């Protein structure tokens, strides 16, 4: 959504484009989302051709989340989990501050990721396969 706003030619159009894209991303089925995306691309073909081209090229990848169960979509459609993971790696590497070589940094980052993976697998399941 944020990347699309960089291709909107007029600031006044941003709210309208955001509303149209929200409709695409809020679709329940992949086919419905793809139909909405085609409509949005056609709508902005003349007033914002750069935006239309960008939408056509990039948004289809973001719709992949619609192929997973609906219960998982809320967590997977944002980058919040990835951002939190990167923040934790950064926090842990700041404590060490000095690394003798790149391999030692990689070992620490791998250990942090392994620890988080173990937590997800055993204690706090971020995504469970049970239907809610």
Q: For the chain, what are the domain ranges?
A: 2-67, 76-122
**Residue (of 132, 87, 79, 88) closest to 111 by Cα position:** 88
Contact 30/24 with Cβ under 8 angstroms?
Answer: no
Q: Report yes or no on whether pTM surpasses 0.75.
A: no
Q: How far apart are CA 114 and CA 121, in angstroms?
A: 10
Q: How far apart are CA 104 and CA 96, in angstroms?
A: 10
Q: What is the pLDDT of residues 27-58, one digit of tens each?
A: 888 899 999 999 999 999 999 999 999 999 99
Q: What is the pLDDT of residues 73-82, one digit of tens each?
A: 777 767 787 8
List, in order, residues 6 or more apart from 72 with CB less than 8 Å away.
127
């Amino acid at each position: 959504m944020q990347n699309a706003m960089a291709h909107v030619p007029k600031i006044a159009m941003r709210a309208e484009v955001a509303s149209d894209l929200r409709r695409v991303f809020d679709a329940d089925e992949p086919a419905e989302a793809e139909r909405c995306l085609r409509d949005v691309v056609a709508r902005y073909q003349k007033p914002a051709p750069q935006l239309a081209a960008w939408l056509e090229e990039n948004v289809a990848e973001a719709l992949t989340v619609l192929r997973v169960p609906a219960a998982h979509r809320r967590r997977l459609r944002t980058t919040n989990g990835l951002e939190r993971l990167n923040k934790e790696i950064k926090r842990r590497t700041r404590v060490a501050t000095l690394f003798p070589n790149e391999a030692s940094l990689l070992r620490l980052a791998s250990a942090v990721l392994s620890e988080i993976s173990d937590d997800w697998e055993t204690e706090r399941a971020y995504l469970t396969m049970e239907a809610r």
